[in-house]
Structure 1
């Protein structure tokens, strides 16, 4: 019964979380966006202390329930393992704990958090890895399916679906997602939860807590006939049936052993109800020095995360003006300072809190956000205006971010946030290069920060060039996106390290 309940909850969680990454309209987030906010690393970086304590308390009570139900990558590994072991009667086998690898990866993970090297953090985080896999590998298939339905609906005079563009957001992120997916497939096909119990830092951290969990699996040596069936059904490879021992730090509470034991020799019950004292003594021989070291590193990570938080600022929003799509692709300008979305507060806040799950990239309707190829911010979203601009009425990225990298803002707030300012390059402007009238940037500026003035004030027929009021510009990128200059725009947005209120 417990196994069936776990399976139902696990299927519900992974199905809805997958839909959150596939839903380019952002509709589902209004109902189920909380599922991304209860993931361990996003909650930690967002300083959601209540959620972090809840997950730790849940693990302390029942073991690694988080890994078998809530974590999408863990459930995805189970699905891959089931596919890989289909048709095999006894698919798994016991494997000794690789402590040096588990705690080594955890140490690297915490060190990367302390040093602010979030690319490594995002690379190892399970939730982020699953988000990249869905966003880069599954999302194009979803969009192509949607476009096919839109095509058929249009022929039937129906507007139930609308066509959307399918494009490769980042080659480096696509490669990383593909490599991660292949690693998961190989490890899951070979022996189930190997990734979760040897590489995943969140699994290692929760595994350390689950060593002391109040509910545990125990083997009744009087009933056990050493058939080894439990070990061969254990996807976590943590049951040593010969010695009648279970490694609770790697057990993900999948209930397979209990469900398959024909003699009911394995039970899941409170530790104080155990019949045999040998298991209790085994749990009390934990290496104290390792526990102290892990406690110190965890406290260091929490302290660095708290130190990285900046004060919230109020944000206000602007009115929207439509525009024409660019005729053809062009090269992105070389910005001295990257652009962080409204609500990110600053570039530093963005880099320190973002887990690179790319949920915001999925829901951005204007294709302004794409994964970064820079080493220090690898896979984290960055803004660029080749395909669109940050429209005044859109705050979807701030609504879906689970880690606090983009804080929630309202449509009424957005117009007062200055994420950057426009810069005009006269050598690229078509007024100077082609001798024609333009003024596209001024016409589409929603804040009227761009005015057109005559080059020669004494000549009434003189062409006009743009003049930018940087105090009014909010950096939305409408001017850059709609500039007809090729290959580089004659006007582009330079980012601000810290967002301003105007």
Structure 2
């Protein structure tokens, strides 16, 4: 029963957290956005003391329930391990804890957090690693499926679905997501929870607490017949059946051992049984022989690749090429080189944003205007940055601030956002079509939501001269409407220069 309850909760949490990264409308976040905020590392970086204390107490009472129920990466590993078990059952065995690696990685992670080595922090954070995998590998298929439904709904005069752009936001981040997926999938397939118990800093930290948990799986030596079935089904490889011991720092409270024990010798209770030390304890050589025997019976298997084909591919392909009214191909906009990169409204400053962001890509997934994308800059690698090639940051949109679990983007209202200056627009004379093509254009001024751009005569002495834009930097909030809607290609005549510290105007 305990295992069924654990599995039910894990599946619910896993499905809802996955949907948070797939939901580009923000609907799921309204109801279940709190699931992202109870993840351990984001809560710690957001200084959400209540959540951190709750998770610590939860671990102290029940063991590493967080790793087997709440953490999506942990549940993902269980899923891979479950699939692998269909090919070979009873495939695990007790392994000595790699303490030097576990605590070494935890120490390096702590140093990286303090020293501001954001790439290392984002790479190892379990919640963020899973978010990147979903955002980069699963979300495109989800969006393509949505576009297929939108295609047919439109032809049925229904607008229940709307089409969304599917594009590669960052090649380096995509590669990191692929490598992360392959590494974790292979490790889970072969060794179960070895990633959680060797590399994951959150798992190691909670493991220290779970050593002293009140409730835990306990072996009753009076009932145990030494069959070792519990150890061969322990994906954490933490049960030593020879000495009737469980390494509680690695146990994730999955309850599998309770179900597998035919003698009822393992119970999830307070640790009242004493496993007496006997001469049957394994020596180093004996353990080595057991490991070699297990290895000898384990055959190598090749992973098969699954290809997913969509009937919509040909339909969507025709819509990929953008042309103007004369069927001339429109050049894609290119991002300008900014002296200071842009961070979303609510992030307060570039320093605050970099210190708190774990690169989970949740804000990137939910941004409806395609403004946020993972950075390729080594200093802020995989952390979102603002760019305006595909859209601009609408003053009425606050979705990124609503979903951020780590405090990198603080919640803001629409009124607040209209007053937050994340940067200011700069006019590039040589790019402006008024100067280069000698045609009239006031796109930037007409679409500026704050009225920060005014059109003035290029020649004050001639009332018939063409007008050029002038930016009032005190009123500009850096939303990027002028940069995005400027007709100049490939570089806009207007671009937004970021501010290191955001200002209130």
Provide TM-score, normalisation by structure 2: 0.89
CA drift at 1:216 = 2.0
Task: Name 2:413's counterpart in structure 1.
Answer: 410
Q: Which moved more, 1:156-165 or 1:356-365?
A: 156-165
Query: Which residue in 1 is equivalent to 2:492?
Result: 489
Instruction: Choose from 415, 427, 431 the match for 1:428.
Output: 431
> Which residue is 2:253 aligned to?
253
What CA distance in whole angstroms lies between the structure 1 residues aligned with 2:425 and 2:330?
21
1:247-326 alignment, distance < 5 Å: 247-271=247-271, 273-276=272-275
Q: Does structure 1 retain, via aligned residues, the 8 Å contact 2:220–2:273? A: no
1:197 aligns with 2:197: yes
Query: Cα distance 1:55–1:277, how it changes in 2: closer, same or farther (>3 A)?
Result: farther
Counterpart in the other structure of 1:366:
369
C-alpha separation between the residues in 2 aligned to 1:134 and 1:351? 22
**CA distance in 2: counterparts of 1:153 and 1:485, whole angstroms:** 35
Please give the per-residue CA displacement for 1:283-323, whole angstroms capped at 9, x wherever unaligned.
xxxxxxxxxxxxxxxxxxxxxxxxxxxxxxxxxxxxxxxxx
Of 153-162 and 369-378, deviating more is 153-162
Root-mean-square deviation over aligned CA pairs:
1.6
1:187 and 2:187 equivalent? yes
**Which of 444, 456, 459 is the aligned partner of 1:441?**
444
Distance 1:276 1:81, change over 3 A: closer
Cα distance in structure 1, aligned partners of 2:419 and 2:234:
56
Matches of 2:196 and 2:254, distance apart in 1: 13
The aligned residue for residue 295 of structure 1 is none
Q: Does 1:139 align with 2:148?
A: no
Displacement, 1:456? Answer: 1.2
1:5-404 equivalence runs, <5 A: 5-271=5-271, 273-276=272-275, 327-404=330-407
- Quote the Cα distance in structure 1 between the aligned partners of 2:359 and 2:486: 30
User: Distance between the aligned counterparts of 2:414 and 2:333, measured in 1?
Assistant: 30
1:156 is displaced (CA, Å) by 2.2
SS at match of 2:498: strand
Deviations along 1:38-75, whole A, 9 cap, x unmatched?
00000001100010011011111111000000000000
Aligned-pair CA distance for 1:87 = 3.6
- By how many angstroms is 1:108 displaced? 1.0
Partner Cα separation in structure 1 for residue 24 and residue 413 of structure 2: 20
1:339 Cα deviation after fit: 0.5
Instruction: Give secondary structure in 2 for the equivalent of 1:216.
Output: strand
1:277 Cα deviation from its structure 2 partner:
6.7
Q: Deviations over 1:175-215 (max 9, x none)?
A: 00000000111101102111111111100000011111111
Instruction: Say which SS state the counterpart of residue 217 (structure 1) adopts.
Output: strand
SS at match of 2:43: helix
| Conservation of the 8 A alpha-carbon contact between 1:93 and 1:191 | no
Query: 3-state DSSP class of the match of 2:424?
Result: strand
Q: Does the 8 Å CA contact 2:243/2:275 hold for their aligned counterparts?
A: no
Tell me what 2:319 maps to: none
The partner residue of 1:463 within 460, 466, 469 is: 466
**SS at 1:12 equivalent:** helix
Cα separation, 1, equivalents of 2:105 and 2:379: 19
Q: Which runs of 5 or more structure 2 residues have no equivalent in the other structure?
A: 279-323
On the 8 A contact 2:457/2:466 being kept in 1, the answer is: yes
TM-score (norm 1): 0.89
- Cα distance in 2 for partners of 1:248, 1:5 equals 20
Residues 234, 257 of structure 1: 8 Å contact kept: yes
- Tell whether the 8 Å contact from 2:243 to 2:277 is kept in structure 1 after alignment: no
Instruction: Output the CA distance in 1 between the equivalents of 2:491 and 2:243.
Output: 69
Q: Which moved more, 1:90-99 or 1:397-406?
A: 90-99
Return the offset for 1:275: 4.7
After superposition, give the CA deviation of every residue in 1:322-376 in whole Å (9 maximum; x if it has no partner).
xx9x943122111000111111111111100011111000010000000001112
Structure 1 ranges of 4+ moved more than 4 A: 275-279
Residue 14 of structure 1 and its aligned partner are, at CA, apart by 0.3
Q: How far apart are 1:89 and its partner, in Å?
A: 2.5
**2:237 aligns to what SS in structure 1?**
coil
Q: In structure 1, how many angstroms separate the alpha carbons of the residues matched to 2:387 and 2:223?
A: 65
Structure 1, unaligned stretches of length 5 or more?
A: 280-323
Contact (CA 8 Å) 2:219, 2:273: kept in 1 or not? no
Structure 1 position 477, deviation (Å): 0.3
Farther off after superposition, 218-227 or 135-144: 218-227
Shift of 1:498: 0.7
Aligned partners of 2:331 and 2:490 also within 8 Å = no
Aligned length: 457
